Amino acid sequence: MKTNPKSWLYGPNWQGIRCEARTRRGTLCQRPARLPVGRCKLHGGASTGPRTKDGLARLTEFKIKHGKFTKEKRAEARRFAEEGRQMRGELKALEAWFVDHGHLSKDWRKDWDKL
């Protein structure tokens, strides 16, 4: 077990609120309580999200209400991404052609940064 390099920080005389959740040993947790529920981050952790079918359905309903994740919007985003990949491929081919035919030097990007 690690020793606390700042033993004075949360020692026995510390005035703050402690977690006091039951540990596996059966003793009270002595970590500082930081969450609104009065527990430390180990014993009062964040929500893991909905588990039931009803809860998952509500989550899905609220996620698509604004239209950002609809099938049409996702298809449009995929199309834009594909167009971008196609353009970058064409630019790369053009750059290779210009370098091969002597119109650009291989390290032309360094010269471009100086401008």
- Residue 45 one-letter amino acid: G
Q: Supply the pTM of this predicted model.
A: 0.41
- The pLDDT of residue 3: 66
CA–CA–CA angle 107, 90, 101 (5° rounding): 45
Q: What is the pLDDT of residue 92?
A: 94
How confident is the model over 10-47, as pLDDT tens digits? Answer: 677 777 888 888 888 888 888 888 767 788 888 876 67
Number of helices (H), then strands (E), belonging to the chain: the values are 3, 0
pLDDT 10s digits, 53-92: 888 888 777 766 566 677 888 899 999 999 999 999 999 9
Residue 115 has pLDDT above 70, yes or no: no
